Chain A
Amino acid sequence: MIKVRGVDKAFGDKAVLHGIDASFEAGQVNFIIGRSGSGKSVLTKCIVGLLEVDAGEIKYAGEDFTSLSTKEREPIRRQIGMLFQGGALFDSMTVLENVEFPLRMFADMDAEERRVRAMECLKRVELEGAEDRFPAEVSGGMQKRVALARAIVGRPGYLFCDEPNSGLDPQTAIVIDNLIRDLTHEYGTTTVVISHDMNSVIEIGDNIHFLHRGRVAWRGDRKGILNSGVEELDKFVYASDLMRDIKGKLQGR
């Protein structure tokens, strides 16, 4: 699990995170939701070490990540898989080489074992047949799925997904949601998903943090999110017609 305590982060005079406390449980799909500019991406970058916190601590399985040197962080980082919003695929490599890359760098596997593992992951994201193509030759949605395959190929203990469904058609979005949930439960992964997609939150979210103006304004499970009593969260949740319909149906019961 990952515990975040009292994290502050500012860029110059502009404070982005204020005393963030959060807990992301193992074997659960943990969501960070909030409006644009609420600090979700900055918080995630702090958690994975792409940004340094100004104050506070971030603990991976009890070990304080913030106090470790870059070299000392490497063993933890090798347990992290991350799906970036834009995919962040290596454009000089084929799809298969992208997925194999973490194994080439860190796993004690021969070429055939790597290929088999990478192909398994591509199959799980429904991308068999695309392995020899380059990222520029596949659609944005397919790039996202390749990036997810790359994130899970090392069977990470911690999986971070930044807007995993953005740019995907609804059917593929469901496949990706189900895959994230299944992997989390199958391997006991600590999964952190940053999303605006309330459908995903309601479908697979076990533990939800709502960020508002750099603070955790609400935390709970998916049942509680529909009746949180937090005005800003209600505005966020019921911003879409679909969610208003769900609310209407719930109130009509």
Chain B
Amino acid sequence: MGLLFHIGRYFAFMAAALRRPQKGRVFAQSTLIELEAIGVQSLGIVALLSLFMGAVIAIQTAHQVGGWVPAYTIGFTVRQTMILEFAPTIIPVILSGKVGSNIASQIGTMQVTEQIDALEVMGVRSISHLVLPKLLAALVIFPFLVVIAMVLGIGAGAWICNAADLSSFADYEYGIQIDFKAFDVAYALIKTCVFALIIASVSAYHGYYTSGGAREVGRSSTKAVVYSVVLVMVANLVITQLLLT
């Protein structure tokens, strides 16, 4: 099917997803469940990757520039990398593999086992009922995860500098403070929110329009991750161009 067909159907899907929930209490409970599924269950992987990435960036920076630039450059580079790119872009890309595939396969399975038909027959607006809590939960929790990733990555950089004797803590601390722009954090959080919406909605879209059986659910899950990652990269370029130039 053509690209235009998918674009049109995606926007119709989003219009249906953003309709007012039919029952506030059910919506609130679903959103809490999604916050747990998307946020709390992703905390471990986010923390682990951020710690390793912060430490690795510190080591690489020391290796590249050691001896001919000031030692505080290590802290500066770790901070800038974590805030500008790793936490707000790479973490959502990783989450699109975990959260996106989970959303697509969950909704896809509901589609092929007629659970969505059951909702529709009852008079439940299935798209809004299933998708809006996931969108809201992703929008709320992704920025928290990204801030946690920033803090842990920068912290891990400090730890490795001390443990591997790459620089003194005072130099590292100076590096993470020098030329700090609060707008960089705002920029990171803005793009995180956009990526959260892309990942949750594109994954839900692919899951909802699954037809067939287990194989198609698997395909939808793969498509959800691939399209989410591509769109995140495109959006990253556009947002960066708009906000940083």
* Cβ of B19 to closest chain A Cβ, rounded Å: 9
B114 & A105 in contact (Cβ 8 Å cutoff): no
* Cβ of A232 to closest chain B Cβ, rounded Å: 29
B114 & A78 in contact (Cβ 8 Å cutoff): no
Q: Does A236 contact B (CB under 8 A)?
A: no
Q: Does A89 contact B (CB under 8 A)?
A: yes
A88 & B122 in contact (Cβ 8 Å cutoff): no
In the assembled complex, which residues on chain A have CB atoms less than 8 Å from the CB atom of B109? 91
A84 & B123 in contact (Cβ 8 Å cutoff): no
A105 & B115 in contact (Cβ 8 Å cutoff): no
Bound: A160/B123 CA distance, A: 14
Q: How many residues of A contact B (CB 8 A)?
A: 24
Q: Which of A50, A105, A106 contacts B120 (CB 8 A)?
A: A50
B122 & A77 in contact (Cβ 8 Å cutoff): yes
Q: Does B117 contact A (CB under 8 A)?
A: yes
In the assembled complex, which residues on chain A have CB atoms less than 8 Å from the CB atom of B25? 104
- Number of contact residues on B: which range applies? 10 to 19
A48 & B122 in contact (Cβ 8 Å cutoff): no
Bound: A70/B122 CA distance, A: 12
Q: Does B23 contact A (CB under 8 A)?
A: yes
A88 & B22 in contact (Cβ 8 Å cutoff): no
Bound: A91/B116 CA distance, A: 12
7 smallest A-B Cβ distances: which pairs? A77-B123, A88-B114, A88-B118, A78-B123, A82-B121, A74-B123, A84-B114
**Additional A-B contacts beyond A49-B121, A88-B114, A90-B110 (9; CB < 8 A):** A70-B125, A73-B123, A77-B122, A82-B121, A88-B113, A88-B115, A88-B117, A91-B115, A105-B122
Residue contacts A-B, CB under 8 angstroms, 12 given: A50-B121, A77-B123, A86-B113, A88-B118, A90-B118, A101-B122, A104-B26, A105-B22, A105-B23, A106-B23, A106-B122, A106-B123
